[in-house]
Amino acid sequence: MVAERAVTDAEAHVVGHLSVVNRFLPVWIGLAMVLGIGLGRLVPSLNTALEHVQIAGTSLPIALGLLVMMYPVLAKVRYGEINRVTADRRLLMPSLILNWVVGPTLMFALAWIFLYDLPAYRTGLILVGLARCIAMVLIWNDLACGDDTAAAVLVAINSLFQIVAFAILGYFYLKVLPGWMGLPTTQVDVSMWGIARSVLIFLGIPLLAGYLTRTFGERRRGREWYETRLLPRLGPFALYGLLFTIVILFALQGSAITHEPMSVARIALPLLCYFAIMWGVAFFTGRALGLSYPRTATLAFTAAGNNFELAIAVAIGTFGVTSGQALAGVVGPLIEVPALVGLVYVSLWARRRFYPSTKETTA
């Protein structure tokens, strides 16, 4: 009875813990979509204006939005605590396998199953599958009562690994693997250097900025001040950057969205399948390995989450801002937010069902 009450309180905490801004995030995203589509219709020359100044093939406003979006999240990571989590191979090794083997392979399969006749959207989804969690997953993990430190460390590892692996995996899943399987390939020039350059700019810069911010912030004022005073001030800028980027992208993608709603729906379906399958496989993997609930939840959410910011940046830089690949990336966060919020509640239910003890400790 006590355990059930504790879980009920935790479930109530999901809504109460969210700020007004985060609680209605799907609403803000929806409004950003509408605003972007409206701007695209009212200002037909917006495309030319936005592409006048570029960074790594990406229009300056979108590049700035992406960098602002990712910096606050990476400033939250406790880079000095990597050893504590990396020492636990029951958590680290499954996380690496799920993120860098299972996740990309699953998204590759779902993309070909659901979007076999839409090569641009299919390629965009494959890029999403290669971009591993480094952003909103920290929020979902916290709401699900996961291990915050373990989540931060896994995010840091994914961030570092992603810089090296993304370009290689992108070439493998877009060129090599389809050729081995006798599948048709998209007739585009996928440059490994182009992908690597986008990764270095849109992930490397905010990662370095986040690391330096935490290092010097803690050195000058201490961790308590950094995490209770500075981070709350930086946090909202991640949402502002996300919404700004969505407004600009939807201004450029509005025509495709309004004229091809079924295509958008077809992009959403494999994404929903992906989130559910990845979360379920990871959660029961953690339980089978004997991990405590906090670390099991962390394993599940870090496996299910994706870095749509990076996928969008790479799609824009490689295929163009108005491409179908970019549209597939834009649809991603619109599906991820309600899907992952729903999985938070599923996780809390699973804690009551599979982890009835409230006295368990982090493994």
Q: Which range is most confident: 4-8, 18-22, 100-104, 149-153?
A: 100-104
pLDDT at position 48: 67
Q: Is 190 left (phi over 0), alpha (psi -120 to 50) or beta?
A: beta
178-202 pLDDT, tens digit per residue, is 889 888 766 555 556 766 676 677 7
Say how far apart CA 253 and CA 225 lie, in whole Å: 42
55 residue type, one letter:
I
Measured N-to-C along each axis, helices 148-171 and 293-304 cross at an angle, to the nearest 10 degrees, of 30
57 with 316: CB under 8 angstroms? yes
CA neighbours closer than 13 Å in the CB half-sphere of residue 40: 21
**AA letter at 127:** L
Q: What pLDDT score was predicted for residue 22? A: 61
φ and ψ at residue 257, rounded to 5 degrees: -65, -45
**Residue 357 or residue 236, greater confidence:** 236
Rounded CA gap, 258 and 119, in Å?
Answer: 20
pTM for this model (two decimals) = 0.75
Beta bridge mates, 58 = 55
Q: What is the pLDDT of residue 214?
A: 92
pLDDT per position as a tens digit, 21-60: 666 766 887 788 788 888 877 877 776 676 666 665 566 7
Which has the closest alpha carbon to 147: 298, 312, 21?
A: 298
| Among 278, 240, 262, 235, residue whose Cα is nearest residue 128 | 278
* CA gyration radius, the chain: 20
The mean pLDDT of 332-347, rounded to a whole number, is 84
The pLDDT score that the predictor gives to residue 230 is 93
Token digits of residue 277: 């399958």
Specify the pLDDT at position 14. 47
For the cut 70, the answer to whether the pLDDT of residue 362 exceeds it is: no
3-state secondary structure of 148: helix
What distance in Å separates the CA atoms of residue 141 and residue 111, rounded to the nearest whole number? Answer: 26
**C-beta neighbour count of 21 within 10 angstroms:** 13
CA 239, 240, 246, 249 dihedral sign is: negative
Q: Which tokens belong to 69?
A: 């979006």
CA distances from 107 to 89, 114, 132 (A): 25, 10, 12
Which residues are paired to 89 by β-bridges? none
All structural domains of the chain with their residue ranges: 2-354
pLDDT of 76 > 70? The answer is: yes
Spatial contact of 286 and 73, defined as CB atoms under 8 Å apart: no
Rounded to 5°, the CA angle 66-74-61 comes to 15
pLDDT tens, position by position, 83-133:
776 667 889 899 999 999 999 999 999 999 999 888 889 999 999 999 887
Tell me the C-alpha distance between 40 and 42, whole Å. Answer: 6
Which of 62-76, 143-157, 252-266, 283-297 shows the highest mean pLDDT? 283-297
Identify the band that residue 298 occupies on the pLDDT scale cut at 50, 70 and 90.
Answer: very high
Out of 1.20.1530.20, 2.40.50.100, 3.40.50.2000, 3.90.226.10, the CATH code matching 2-354 is 1.20.1530.20
Does residue 236 or residue 209 have the better pLDDT? 209
148-157, 169-178, 205-214: range with lowest mean pLDDT: 148-157
Q: At what angle do helices 89-97 and 148-171 cross, to 10 degrees?
A: 30
Least confident range of 1-5, 237-241, 315-319: 1-5
pLDDT of residue 11: 47
d(CA 178, CA 251): 33
